[in-house]
Structure formats: C-alpha cells, structure tokens
Amino acid sequence: MPFLKIIFVFIVTFLVSSTGGYAEETQLRSEPSLTVLASANPLAGLIDSLPTFKQNASEEPLLPAEQAFQFFAEVKDANTVHVNWVIAKGYYLYREKIKLELINSQGIQLGTYTMPRGTTKQDEAFGTVEIFHDELAFDVPLNHLGDSAAITLKAKYQGCAERGVCYPPMNKTISLELPSGQKSMQDGVTSTPVSELSEQDQIVQSLHHDSGGVVLLSFFGFGLLLSMTPCIFPMIPILSGIIVGHGNRITTARAFFLSLSYVVASAFTYTVFGVLAALFGGNLQTTFQQPWIIGLFSGVFVLLSLSMFGFYDLELPNSLKTKLHNSSVKHQDGSLWGAAIMGALSSLIVGPCVAAPLAGALIFIGQSGNALLGGSALFAMGMGMGVPLLLLGASAGKLLPKAGGWLYSTKAVFGVIMLGVAVWMLSRILPPSVPILLWSILLILPAIYLNALEPLPLNSSGWSKLWKGVGLMMFAYGLILLIGFSMGNDNPLKPLKGFAVNTSQGVEEEVVFERISNLAALEAKVHEATLNHQPVMVDFYADWCISCKEMEAYTFTDPKVKKALSTYKLLQLDVTKDSDDDKAVLAKFNLIGPPAILFFSGSEQEDTAHRVIGYQDAETFLKTLQGIK
C-alpha cells in the first residue's frame, strides 16, 4: 500500500505540472512559488509534497470566473450608471485591466470616469500594479447626444487568485434601460447638444470614434490654436537666438532647417514623454519642473546671453569640430543637432502647458492603450504648435542682418531676450516678489546702454532717436517696477496695483482661495458645501504653471468674474511638489496636471461638462460660469 500511495502521488504531481489541457482552457498563470515546484526535480518535488499531500488534496478548488468576480451595473439616474464588482475572498482584480465601453448605444457616450485607488502589489508578470479585494464600486457618467433610452454596457476585466493562478481576461455585457422622462428634449433649441461633453471628453471621444486621418488633422489644428497661446511664446526668442548666433553665415534655407530641427525634436520629445506618462503613470513633464533643473537651465540661458554680448565665443572642442567637418562638407551637422537638443529640452522645461487636446490624448492613451494613435496625435499637435517657429525660420534668413554693426546690435538685443527667458523661468521657483526686481534690473541696465540718460547730439539720425526713445521707455518702466517691488507687488504687468490717488475708493477685494492639500480634505470640503447648498470651484495650481498664474493675474481679477464667483466656495489644490497626495488627487479626477478647474454644483458629483483644462481668459471663463446650473 505505501508503494501504491507513492505511485499515485507521483502520477498526480506529474499531471498537475505537465499537462496543458486545463492551462489551455483557462490560461491560468502560476506564481514563481508554484513554478519552482513544476521545474524542480520530480523526485525532489514528490518527496517535498508527501508531508502536505493530504492538506493540498483537501484545498478547495478554484472558483469559476463568474463566481470569483461578479460584475453588476445599475442605472443611478438618466446621466449616471453605477458599476460594482463583488470579489470573492482570496481573489483580486487588476485596476489597469478594467475597461468600460458602450455597444450599439446610439446617442449616448460614456463620460470620463475615475476609479478608486487600489492596493499596490509587486506582480511577477506585470510589475508594480494596483489591485482590488472584496469589492470595487464607482459611478460612470453618461453624455447624451440623442434620445436613446437604452444602453448596452460592456466591461472588460482580469483577476487572479491569491494562491498564485490568474484567470484570462473576462468580458461581461449588461443591457440597461434609462428613465424615459429624463431623455433629452427633441426641440432643436433645448435638446442636449454635444456641448454637454467637456472639451477634454469631446477630444477623447473623437480619438475613440473618428478615423486616423481626421484625428491627425484635428490635432494639427489644435496645435495651430495652441501656437497662439503663451505656451509657445518662450520658444520664439530661444529659436531666434539660435539663428542669430550663426551671424553672417545664415541663409534662408539654413535658418529654415535649424527651425525644422528644433520643431521636430520638440514635437517628438513631447510625444515620447506624453505616451510614457500615459502608459506608465505619472507626469514626466512635472519632473522637469524641479527647482534645480529650472535653475540649471536658466543658467544656460544666462551663459548664452553673455556670449551674445561678446564676453566670449561658444565653440565646439577642436576634436569634435574636426569630426563634424569630416562628416559634412557644409559643416551643418553640429548646429542642427544643437537646435534639436534645445528643442527637446524646451518642450519639457520651457513650455509645460496643459491644454484640453493634450489632456484628451493622454487620457485616451491611458484608457485604450493605443499608443500609436495617441502618440501620432500628440506629434501632429506638436508640429501644429511649431508652425510659427517654421515661419520664423523661413523668414529669418531675409530679415536678419548679414554683417556690419547691425549684426552686433541684433545679437545684443537677443542677449537681453535670453536674460528675459532666464528671469521668466526663475519666476516659477523664486519668491513672488523677487522676479519683479529682476525685471526692473533687466530693463534699466540695457536702457543705460542705449544712452537713455545721455543728451542726443543735434545731428543725430532717426534711428538714434528711435533707440533713445526705446531706452527711455525701458528706463521709465524699470523705475515703475522698482516702485512696485518696494510696495510688495509681484505682478510685473500690474506693478502699481493697490496704489490709488483717491484713497476713499479703497482697494478692490481679491478672489481668495482656501488651500487644501489632499483628497480627503477636498472630499470633506465638498461634502460640507453640499450640505450648505453652496457650489464649489476647485482650482489645481502649481508654482511652475505659467497658465495658472495667468488665470490668477488676468481672469480671476476681472470684476465680472469675481462677482460670478462670489457665491462659490473656492478651493485650491497646490500640486507643485508632485507628492503622493498630489498624484492621488490628480488620478482621482483623471487629470494630467494643472491648470484645471472643477465644479461641484449642488452635489458631491463633479459637473464634468464644465471642467476647464488650460488657460481661459475672463470672457471665456465667465461664459463657463454662466453655463453652470
């Protein structure tokens, strides 16, 4: 009998470790601890298994997938579906494997949904992942584009058993009826239009449903529109400085190819880092906003400006110049690579603007995993943003001087502009009052070099008088900035803010935000405001976010905007440090980064249709506020 028992154990062990029938049917995956048993010497495995064979034989069999992971969905209201998974004890779901979509549901689309954060697990197959135990539940918004009263929801998910085996990806489809009384009205004026989707959601839906050609053309158009915003402005003096730095060797073709290298490298870098951030989490561009990186890059611009002033010449080492000479008869390789490197760095450090097209593309990549289409859309957008730079390059060869005193004067002007870029970048990390002092110095010193304080000779040319006038204006505004600095102001465009001749008018009250630091505090404040029937506006802010500061300086200071916000509870989340709390709250609302403004009007559910991504001027933002019911 003992011998027969050993033979029986050997046969069972062999079948479990070698047969592929059950593995092929369920695609179960073994953890390393089980793999070791299967790959070890069969005799050793047999001996090791003998003491615990009785215990293993009594272990409960694996549950069918439908019992281990039960999926349910119900209509919460005409605009919301509530989904939940009941997970059996000893099993877990992968967060990143959960996808929801609508099938054959004309007139209705899923809005942007957010899942709760899971428990971190180091998985042998997928690396660091988030998982859910026991239960997962959240709401999914519906965006009405027509009069459909029924939807078919398809859920995709995958999970594993704690003992070390994983189930194949699962799909479940549920048909749901929507409340008939809540359908969109049929009148053309009052029907629920496409505008019910936020701009970000419209872009995500476009990526899901439009053809590739339409998507690429649309994103190129988005890039053209973004090129008219402050996002692209800092890149203009950088590229201009690169072109001017070539002196009298520059030609129209040469300037264009320098610009093309700069733009393509910028768009490509934006694409690569955007796709990586969307697929693997995190905001890689935020990483490049660390104070030491900004300080280092600002120092580079200071050095470049000093070379423009003629303090020294920036040249490649002789050995490298020889290699470049041998590799190209026209000696162009080095400068083209230099322009490309500067373009790549500029896309990450100089212009970290988050706009709805960028956010929509990154959300699409994160939800669908389609990095090819999402990345192509980002590249098309980057090229669209670079059109003004290409026009600059095409015209620079004709507009810029080729030789003579004008060339040195032009280089000096761009040297000052380079210093301006350095000050602009440092304003992200310096105390608020320091940049206005630096701007004043940057205006006063060049004004002195322009002989602003020297009398003009009687026989001066028209150009001398023009430069004299420019110098006087720079000197005057520099003095105004100094006065503003002494008053404690920090806005270079409003240096005398708070100064009034008629003191009886008083100082106009500013919009004041309540700072909060984490998701728990946000939820508590929103809950409190809901009980008091008060709408809430949440502003996502960072010190390095230029668009955030523009909103503060120009949008929130508008009298009509301030009046419209007077009834709101104003909250502000500072995500400058990119801490775990910052990442958690950004992930909660499926945000890429600041600037972003969320509204909660009368409930604890966000009004996603009016979410603001990127900069809005006072007039546009006021229309957004007026559209909130």
Q: 3-class DSSP state for residue 80?
A: strand
pLDDT computed for residue 231 by the predictor: 64
C-beta neighbour count of 409 within 10 angstroms: 12
Q: 3-class DSSP state for residue 377?
A: helix
Q: Angle at CA 622, nearest 5°, toward 232 and 378?
A: 30
Q: Are strands 514-516 and 80-87 parallel, antiparallel or unpaired?
A: unpaired
| Cα 546 to Cα 173, 585, 615, distances in angstroms | 45, 21, 9
Strand order, beta sheet including 170-177 = 99-102, 150-157, 170-177
Q: Return the closest-CA partner of residue 271 out of 157, 141, 413, 379.
A: 379
Mean pLDDT of 329-349: 66
| Cα 397 to Cα 241, 253, 386, 394, distances in angstroms | 13, 7, 18, 7
pLDDT computed for residue 627 by the predictor: 85
Q: HSE on the CB side for 95, CA within 13 Å?
A: 22
C-beta neighbour count of 65 within 10 angstroms: 18
pLDDT computed for residue 396 by the predictor: 63
CA distance 347 to 223: 13
pLDDT computed for residue 305 by the predictor: 78
pLDDT computed for residue 112 by the predictor: 80
Residue count of the chain, please give it: 629
Q: Cβ distance 426 to 295 under 8 Å?
A: yes
**What are the structure tokens assigned to 364, written together?**
């699409």
Q: Cβ distance 359 to 274 under 8 Å?
A: no
29 has pLDDT over 60: no
Mean pLDDT of 203-211: 65
506 has pLDDT over 60: no
pLDDT computed for residue 98 by the predictor: 92
Tens digits of residue pLDDT in 577-618: 778 888 888 888 878 778 889 999 877 888 888 888 888 889
pLDDT computed for residue 286 by the predictor: 60
Q: Cβ distance 87 to 159 under 8 Å?
A: yes
Tens digits of residue pLDDT in 33-69: 333 333 334 434 433 444 443 444 445 677 888 888 9
Four-CA torsion 116, 603, 571, 559, nearest 10 degrees: 140
CA distance 61 to 56: 10
117 has pLDDT over 80: yes
pLDDT computed for residue 334 by the predictor: 46
Q: Angle at CA 272, nearest 5°, toward 324 and 220?
A: 100
Domain ranges across the chain: 2-57, 65-196, 208-402, 514-626
Q: Cβ distance 109 to 197 under 8 Å?
A: yes
What angle do helix axes 580-588 and 519-531 make, rounded to 10 degrees? 50
Least reliable range by pLDDT among 25-39, 164-178, 400-414? 25-39
Tens digits of residue pLDDT in 137-163: 898 888 776 566 778 889 999 988 887
Annotation: CATH topology of 65-196: Immunoglobulin-like (2.60.40)
Domains 65-196 and 514-626 share a fold: no
Backbone phi and psi for residue 171, each to the nearest 5 degrees, phi listed first: -130, 140
pLDDT computed for residue 59 by the predictor: 56
Please give the CATH number for the structural domain made up of 514-626.
3.40.30.10
Whose tokens are 């008088």? That residue is 465
6 has pLDDT over 90: no
CA distance 521 to 579: 15
Residues 6+ apart with CB under 8 A from 218: 206, 210
479 has pLDDT over 60: yes
Residue 571: enclosing H or E segment and its boundaries? strand 569-574
CA distance 626 to 59: 63
Choose between 380 and 209: higher pLDDT.
Answer: 380
Residue 595: asked if its preceding bond is cis (omega within 30°), the reply is yes
Tens digits of residue pLDDT in 405-416: 555 676 677 778
Q: Cβ distance 163 to 37 under 8 Å?
A: no
Mean of the per-residue pLDDT values for the chain?
A: 74
Choose between 314 and 426: higher pLDDT.
Answer: 426
508 has pLDDT over 60: no
Tens digits of residue pLDDT in 344-395: 877 766 555 556 666 666 666 665 566 777 788 788 888 888 888 888 777 7
Residue 335 CA from chain centroid, whole number: 31
- The long-range contacts involving 37-46, CB below 8 angstroms and separated by at least 24 positions, are 42/10, 42/13, 42/14, 42/17, 45/13, 45/17, 46/6, 46/9, 46/10, 46/13
Percentage of the chain with pLDDT > 90?
A: 12
Mean pLDDT of 551-574: 91
Choose between 410 and 195: higher pLDDT.
Answer: 410
Tens digits of residue pLDDT in 283-327: 555 656 677 877 887 887 788 777 777 675 555 455 544 554 444
For residue 503, name the pLDDT band (cuts at 50, 70, 90). very low
Mean pLDDT of 488-510: 66
CA distance 275 to 366: 8
pLDDT computed for residue 176 by the predictor: 84
Three-state secondary structure string covering 65-77 = HHHHEEEEEEEEE
